[in-house]
Amino acid sequence: MDAAISETSSRNPAKGCFDLGGTPDFGRCTWGSGDAPNHLYLVGDSTALAYAPAFREIADRSGGQWKVTTVGLYGCRFTDVLVQNDGDGVMDACPQRKADVAAQIAADAPQLVVVSNAYALGNAADRQPLTVAQLVGSTLSLASRFDTPGHVVYLAPPPLGANLGACYSPVKSPQDCTAGVDGAWNDFQNSFTAAVAAQGTGDHVVSSLGFTCVEGFCPAFAGTIPTRYDQVHMTPEYAVRVAESIRWELGAQGLM
């Protein structure tokens, strides 16, 4: 657990595809066979980065059927509105990164685009607060620029976990770091479900509860694997562990 907390996303194979700087090379951020007949994009903020090892595993296990491009920007929500972030350089880089990714997706016309952003309230660039409905609507608005109606999946992040700095200790029980499903997660998930249904494009919403929680409880460990390295992000090891569960969730909606 100490290693998971200290290493954060440093061992994530897609880390360079979500770093600050110029928009990364899309080929360098693509996993799976170059000849695969199906192409999937995973885009968004750091929650998408946390999912990247799972989607790489899905591509590698697809028998050459899928290739996966994972690209976004840490701290940059994939919404039409620019959401305030105090990280150095994030606000400056975010608009161009989103525009470049949207243009590339529109040009590639992939079979599937998975969007994952934080389920958390925020402020616009002018510091005015944004509601859940505004953030959800703005996510759908950005996705319309992909020009892939019916092929977009809004993948929920895991519910907010326990504060590992407060709950974790080598002399405590792992149960001390179990959390429930937070209210904000429910608000965002319900809003996405309603907004996508109302939009009528045939896009999809996929919950994360099936591979992060059970009966309303979300543990910080799965066996001996830490499920997350902070309150928000999955560890790379746990993302790989749940890759088949994510593929099953997508398959259950006829997407893979």
Compute, in degrees rounded to 10, the torsion defined by CA atoms 243, 252, 118, 15: 30
pLDDT in tens, 48-80: 999 999 999 999 999 999 999 999 999 999 999
* Helix extents (H) in 200-242: 209-212, 236-241
Q: What is the DSSP letter of 234?
A: B
Point out the least confidently predicted range of 30-39, 67-76, 219-228. Answer: 219-228
pLDDT, residue 173, reads 82
Neighbouring-strand partners of residue 112: 40
pLDDT, residue 70, reads 98
Q: Under DSSP, is residue 162 helix (H, G, I), strand (E, B) or coil?
A: coil
Q: How far apart are CA 168 and CA 170, in angstroms?
A: 7
pLDDT, residue 93, reads 96
Q: State mean pLDDT over 31-49.
A: 97
Record the tokens describing residue 235, joined without a space.
């560890």
pLDDT, residue 154, reads 98
**Containing domain of residue 214, as a range?**
2-252
pLDDT, residue 170, reads 83
Instruction: Reply yes or no on whether the pLDDT at 174 is more than 80.
Output: no
Q: How far apart are CA 110 and CA 113, in angstroms?
A: 7
Higher pLDDT, 121 or 223: 121
* Helix extents (H) in 11-157: 46-60, 90-108, 132-143
Asked whether 40 and 69 are in contact (CB, 8 A), the reply is: yes
Instruction: Reply yes or no on whether the pLDDT at 175 is more than 90.
Output: no
Structural domain tally of the chain? 1
pLDDT, residue 52, reads 98
253 Cβ partners below 8 Å, 6+ apart?
A: 153, 204, 206
∠ CA 75-38-29 to the nearest 5 degrees? 35
Identify the CATH number of the domain in which residue 41 sits: 3.40.50.1110
Q: Which percentage of the chain shows pLDDT scores above 70? A: 100
Asked whether 161 and 218 are in contact (CB, 8 A), the reply is: yes
8, 51, 139, 241 from 2: Cα distances, Å: 10, 21, 35, 19
The pLDDT confidence band at residue 225, using thresholds 50, 70 and 90, is very high
pLDDT, residue 171, reads 87
Q: State mean pLDDT over 163-185.
A: 88
Q: How far apart are CA 183 and CA 13, in angstroms?
A: 32
Instruction: Reply yes or no on whether the pLDDT at 199 is more than 90.
Output: yes
The pLDDT confidence band at residue 163, using thresholds 50, 70 and 90, is confident
57, 159, 178, 212 from 216: Cα distances, Å: 27, 10, 10, 10
pLDDT, residue 164, reads 85
Q: Interhelix angle for 243-252 vs 46-60, to 10°?
A: 90
